[in-house]
Amino acid sequence: MGGAFGALGGDVTGVAINPAGIGVYRSSEVLVNMSLSSPFTGGKSFQQSNTKFSFDNLSYIVYYPLVNGSMLSLNFGFNYNRIKSYNQLIGVSGPDIQSSLTDYMELLTNGVDHNLWLNGIDYMYDHTNVGFLSILAFDGGLINPILGTGDQYRTILDDGEKVRPRLNASEKGKVENYDFTIGSNIADKLYWGATITITDLSYLMSSAYKEDFLGEEGGGFDLVNDLETKGSGFQMKAGIIYKPTDVLRFGLAYHSPVWYTMTDYYSAALTPHGIYDLGSGKALGRTETPYEYYNYQLRTPWSWTASVAAVLGAQAIVSIDYENKNYGDMILKDERGYDFRNDNEYIREDYKNASTVRAGFEYKFTPQYSVRLGYAFSQNPYKKSMKNMGIDAVTSGSAPHYTIDGDVNYMTIGIGYRFTPQFYVDCALVHRSQNNDLYYFPPVDTSGSGLDSFQGKGSYTNQSLKGLLTLGYKF
């Protein structure tokens, strides 16, 4: 049903959206959910293939009836839910472009005192705040000091020289929620619920970026990056559902930010090809960064969800959810609690409130057999200035590539069958579609005509088809 359960309750999806949904339960329940996901993409330069089976959900709801008073029940629940999977393979190549990663390296390194390099590369890694990409570029011969300036650099490419880029990246990981919920039914009119959520995050990215220089002197380089992020956090949710009549239900839920404690582990290596030391004339070889880590804190956006549903007798349900999430309210802090002042200012400048709309319909042909349809639309969180004008992005570690996600559309269809009043099976198909922009590296204006002419990016359609099977038992 497109996930539109915020005003319905009595379903673990609804409890995750609106904790008040647990108060609708009139029996205990245990269920397990499994999925098989197959991603596929469209685009001239993008390929992806990674069909995967996963165990996505496990829930246990305890119904505890009360004898006296208007509070008819007090229910408890535990819900494990995998809310995000990062598994994908990316491959992008060509066409030939005039922008180069060496231009971005030059930009990053301008302002670094030439004399610092006299202390050696180990000194630059251990005793300065010079970025990994700058050190790799200097040691690999991709940029050279401009004599007489003291702190300015220039790429080794000739003006107007084109390059042939290629990027391969692998992403793995997941975000898992562990929800502990309590809720109640008051006079079959008002339902309330509250949830404490423990979140676990793991992410692993490996990438290989290659450039072949197409000028007369040839040459090129390979840049390999590894980034691993681990984190845990907690969140609070609260909600109500009001049923003024047997037909109508209204829901309202608040999700607090997730307060994460996170660590990034990263390293990189650069191998130049056909590039020679200016003094000795020898070919430059592979250079590697140390294996570094950084601890920090992240506060994610808060959100509100308003819902309405109509229960049309014993045969049909129509339900709509509207969710608003304030991405501009995200905050980064270091391990001592100090703000990343510049980064947080970028967040406020580049991110906006984003809306999600979910709509679902169910029709029961018999008391045992149901058919469901759904649609959901999730707006991208970027302001137009970030998405359309190619503003410089801040990336993690020394991996220069990144993706600007587009809006997401979901189409869903499902069936449900009750073998007995206690045992049921639900099956669903979810089609997900999203148009994204992939940048090899942050934009650098090399043509003098503005960032709109930046060539170092590609667009692709990221799609997936997921099949889900849910087994449930009420008692």
> Tens digits of per-residue pLDDT, 129-158?
899 999 999 999 999 999 999 999 999 999
Paired with 153 in beta bridges are 145
Average pLDDT in the chain: 90
Q: What is the distance between the alpha carbons of residues 156 and 52, in angstroms, rounded to a whole number?
A: 44
Dihedral class, residue 219 (left if φ above 0, else alpha if ψ from -120 to 50, else beta): left
Residue 43 has pLDDT above 60, yes or no: no
Residue 48 has pLDDT above 60, yes or no: no
Kindly list the domain boundaries of the chain, sorted by start residue.
12-83+169-208+222-268+299-474
Which DSSP string do the residues of 308-333 spell out, in sequence order?
A: EEEEETTTEEEEEEEEEEEGGG-EEE
- How high is the pLDDT of residue 336? 75
> Between 441 and 94, whose confidence is greater?
441
Confidence of residue 255 (pLDDT cuts 50, 70, 90): very high
Contact 321, 305 (CB under 8 A): yes
Query: Is the domain defined by 12-83+169-208+222-268+299-474 classed in CATH 2.40.160.60?
Result: yes
Confidence of residue 160 (pLDDT cuts 50, 70, 90): confident
Contact 359, 374 (CB under 8 A): yes
- Cite the beta strand spans of 243-349 per DSSP E: 248-255, 259-273, 287-288, 292-299, 303-312, 316-326, 331-334
Q: What is the distance between the alpha carbons of residues 110 and 423, in angstroms, rounded to a whole number?
A: 67
DSSP letter at 341? Answer: H
Q: Determine the distance from the C-alpha atom of residue 237 to the mean position of all C-alpha atoms in its chain, rounded to a whole number.
A: 21
Q: What is the distance between the alpha carbons of residues 105 and 440, in angstroms, rounded to a whole number?
A: 13
Contact 430, 410 (CB under 8 A): yes
> Between 36 and 460, whose confidence is greater?
36
Contact 96, 163 (CB under 8 A): yes
| 125 Cβ neighbours under 8 A, 6+ residues apart | 135, 289, 290
